């Protein structure tokens, strides 16, 4: 019966190409990141410095989308959307003689979203959402000098560009409002790492350090270590997936006649 209804909507509903823009809030787990913050601050506390602040659980950013939406005046509807989004947080510390560090957390998402739901009166749409994506998490650790110059080189072991790519899945729902040729979707999904058994961790692949090239969850343990690999002191991809809320607006371009 459902397949018959889907065939009917494909035959009689309107096909659209859509382009959109919006905002995204992504929730991540910050316990390990903030353990780095507390151990870093504790290590340098005697130097009269401005400490790092805790990373927030919720990261805001912007998204852009495009794809296909099939929608009639009522009944079932479906959509296949590609969405690019990014979010992040910049963190700063000042040590003695006004030098310090800058830590920039960034995340970039490439998501393929499938929606299937019901259109009520051609205005309100309720959907189930399934998504698959590629998420790249990174932390840039810059050395900041007293004159304001910044370096991503390796004057200090901790400086560098740490990355942790992951494949994700998202499940959730959305509600939408259709106004003329505009569609306003609100999506709420919860994500998980697709290949958690082979978890990637934040790592700088560009250099070989005296210490581990993984970004540590415990800075003091990392400082006191002389191993180039430490699987007990890292931050993995599972820390960066969680609930995501996005609100946007799409412009719907009809394809052919209804």
Q: Indicate the pairing of strand 124-144 with strand 160-179.
A: antiparallel
Pairing type for strands 150-151 and 160-179 reads unpaired
Neighbours of 171 (CB within 10 A): 12
Contact 111, 66 (CB under 8 A): no
| Over residues 165-183, mean pLDDT | 92
d(CA 54, CA 40): 11
Q: Find the range with the poorest average confidence among 49-53, 55-59, 175-179.
A: 49-53
Residue with tokens 């009689």: 12
Closest of 158, 151, 115, 116 to residue 246, by C-alpha: 115
Average pLDDT in the chain: 86
DSSP 195-231: TGGG--B-B-TT---SS-SBPPS-HHHHHT---S--T
Instruction: Write out the residue range of the structural domain in which residue 149 sits.
Output: 2-254
Paired with 85 in beta bridges are: 63, 109
Name the DSSP class of 54. Answer: P
What is the average per-residue pLDDT within 14-30?
A: 93
Please report which confidence band the pLDDT of residue 76 belongs to, taking 50, 70 and 90 as the band edges.
Answer: confident
pLDDT for position 237: 85
| pLDDT computed for residue 5 by the predictor | 53
CATH number of the domain enclosing 137 = 2.40.160.20
* CB distance 249 to 233 below 8 Å: no
Return the C-alpha torsion angle 31, 33, 36, 38, nearest 10.
-60
Assigned token pair, 24: 């995204």
Confidence of residue 103 (pLDDT cuts 50, 70, 90): very high
The span from the CA of 27 to the CA of 58, in Å, is 4
In this structure, is the dihedral angle defined by the CA atoms of residues 228, 229, 235 and 241, taken in order, positive or negative? positive
The mean pLDDT of 137-143, rounded to a whole number, is 92
pLDDT, position 198:
58
Q: Quick check: 217 pLDDT over 90?
A: yes
At residue 8 the predicted structure's pLDDT band, cuts being 50, 70 and 90, is low
Confidence label for 4 from pLDDT (cuts 50, 70 and 90): low
Question: When comparing pLDDT for 6 and 112, which is higher?
Answer: 112
The pLDDT value given to residue 55: 94
**Distance between CA atoms of residues 78 and 70, nearest Å:** 5
Split into its structural domains, the chain has a count of 1
CA 156 and chain centroid, separation: 28
Question: Using an 8 Å Cβ cutoff, are 258 and 209 in contact?
Answer: no
> What's the whole-number mean pLDDT along residues 84-107?
88
- Average pLDDT for 25-31: 92
């Amino acid at each position: 019966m459902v397949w018959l209804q889907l065939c009917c909507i494909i035959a009689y509903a309107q096909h659209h190409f859509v382009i959109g823009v919006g905002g995204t809030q992504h929730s991540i787990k910050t316990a390990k990141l903030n353990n780095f913050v507390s151990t870093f601050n504790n290590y340098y506390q005697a130097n009269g410095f401005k400490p790092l602040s805790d990373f927030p659980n919720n990261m805001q950013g912007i998204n852009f989308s495009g794809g296909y939406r099939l929608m009639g005046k009522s009944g079932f509807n479906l959509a296949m959307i590609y969405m690019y989004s990014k979010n992040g947080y910049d963190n700063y510390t000042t040590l003695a003689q006004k030098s310090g560090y800058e830590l920039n957390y960034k995340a970039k998402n490439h998501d393929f979203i499938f929606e299937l739901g019901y259109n009520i009166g051609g205005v309100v749409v309720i959907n189930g959402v399934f998504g698959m994506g590629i998420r790249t998490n990174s932390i840039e650790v810059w050395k900041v000098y007293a004159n304001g110059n910044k370096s991503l080189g390796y004057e200090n072991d901790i400086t560098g560009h740490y990355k942790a790519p992951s494949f994700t899945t998202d499940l959730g729902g959305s509600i939408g409002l259709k106004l003329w040729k505009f569609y306003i979707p609100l999506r709420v999904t919860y994500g998980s790492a697709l290949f958690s058994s082979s978890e990637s961790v934040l790592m700088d692949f560009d250099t070989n350090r005296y210490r581990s090239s993984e970004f540590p969850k415990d800075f003091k343990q990392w400082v006191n270590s002389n191993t180039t690999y430490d699987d007990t002191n890292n931050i993995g991809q599972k820390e960066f997936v969680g609930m995501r809320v996005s609100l946007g607006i799409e412009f719907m371009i009809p394809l052919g006649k209804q």
